[in-house]
């Protein structure tokens, strides 16, 4: 027998979330039915507020309540060094490592179709404009060391072609196939210290 229509709608909505299949969606939906009504109301408000009140920073693309975000507005950050990451989670992980004191540029879910995300050419154009206008000296690529992350890194290098900027990549301490968001802060710090200059490695001049 099918579930009641409101429950079916909830299950279908949950299935559209990344990483949640039909069985997981069903379990979550049934769990919601067991929650007190007050908790369900709080969940609904939290979902609405997260979607309505947060925005993308006009400068770096990170999630923020106001633009520019707190990191971009911080005068203590080094403005000539930009760390390129795939999403807001990676900014949090990098900040927890304490290894980086420059600014960020968020590709927002990556350039490859990870978790259903479509390429975002606007993020690439925005990065190039920042490098041109803000006298950036180094762009550090902190995309994941897997196929999707390597593809994203290659697109960033292509987008910055012809600009006199050093392009480096996180090196030691990041296992192949690892996602940045799951790594310990000390591992990220070591990877940042061991970053490699991509153009020098390929015999190019930045």
Tell me the average pLDDT across 88-106. 91
109 vs 53: CA distance, rounded Å: 19
User: In terms of pLDDT, which residue wins out, 136 or 176?
Assistant: 136
Label residues 93-113 b or e (16+ Cβ within 10 Å = b). Answer: bbeebebbebbbbbbbbbbbe
Q: Which residue has the tokens 């390597």?
A: 150
Compute the mean pLDDT over every residue in the chain, rounded to the nearest whole number.
Answer: 85
Residue 152 in domain: yes
In a domain, 206, yes or no: no
Average pLDDT over residues 71-88: 95
- Structure pTM? 0.75
Burial of 61 (0-12, 13-18, 19+ CB in 10 A): buried
Query: What is the pLDDT, as a whole number, of residue 151?
Result: 84
Question: 56 and 62 in contact (C-beta within 8 Å)?
Answer: yes
Both 46 and 64 in one domain: the answer is no
13 lies in a domain? yes
Split at pLDDT 50, 70, 90, the class of 118 is very low
Range of the domain at 30: 5-53
What's the rounded mean pLDDT across residues 2-18?
93
Q: Are residues 40 and 96 in the same domain?
A: no
Spatial contact of 33 and 19, defined as CB atoms under 8 Å apart:
no
Q: Are residues 76 and 161 in the same domain?
A: yes
The yes-or-no verdict on residue 113 having pLDDT over 60 is no
Q: What is the CATH number of the domain that holds 20?
A: 1.10.8.420
Note whether residue 103 is domain-resident.
Answer: yes
**Residue 17 backbone phi and psi in degrees, to 5:** -80, 145
Q: What is the mean pLDDT of residues 62-77?
A: 95
CATH number of 153's domain: 3.40.1360.10
Residue 62: is its pLDDT beyond 70? yes
Average pLDDT of the segment spanning 35-63: 95
CA gap 116, 55 in Å, rounded: 20
Q: Which of 31-45, 68-82, 88-102, 113-127 has the lowest mean pLDDT?
A: 113-127
DSSP at 45: H
Residue 202 has pLDDT above 70, yes or no: no
Whether 82 and 126 map to the same domain: the answer is yes
């Amino acid at each position: 027998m099918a579930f009641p229509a409101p429950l079916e709608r909830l299950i279908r909505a949950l299935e559209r979330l990344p990483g949640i299949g039909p069985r997981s969606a069903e379990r979550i939906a049934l769990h919601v039915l067991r929650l007190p009504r007050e908790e369900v109301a709080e969940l609904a408000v939290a979902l609405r507020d997260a979607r309505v009140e947060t925005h993308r920073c006009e400068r770096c693309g990170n999630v923020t309540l106001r633009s520019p975000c707190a990191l971009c507005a911080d005068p203590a950050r080094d403005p000539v060094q930009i760390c390129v990451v795939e999403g807001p989670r990676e900014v949090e992980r990098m900040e927890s490592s304490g290894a980086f004191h420059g600014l960020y540029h968020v590709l927002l879910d990556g350039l490859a179709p990870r978790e259903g995300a479509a390429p975002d050419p606007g993020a690439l154009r925005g990065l190039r404009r920042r490098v041109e206008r803000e006298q950036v000296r180094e762009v550090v690529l902190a995309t994941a060391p897997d196929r999707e992350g390597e593809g994203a890194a290659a697109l960033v290098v292509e987008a910055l072609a012809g600009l006199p900027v050093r392009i480096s990549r996180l090196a030691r301490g990041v296992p192949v196939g690892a996602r940045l968001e799951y790594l310990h802060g000390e591992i990220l710090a070591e990877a940042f210290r061991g970053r490699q200059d991509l153009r020098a490695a390929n015999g190019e001049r930045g």
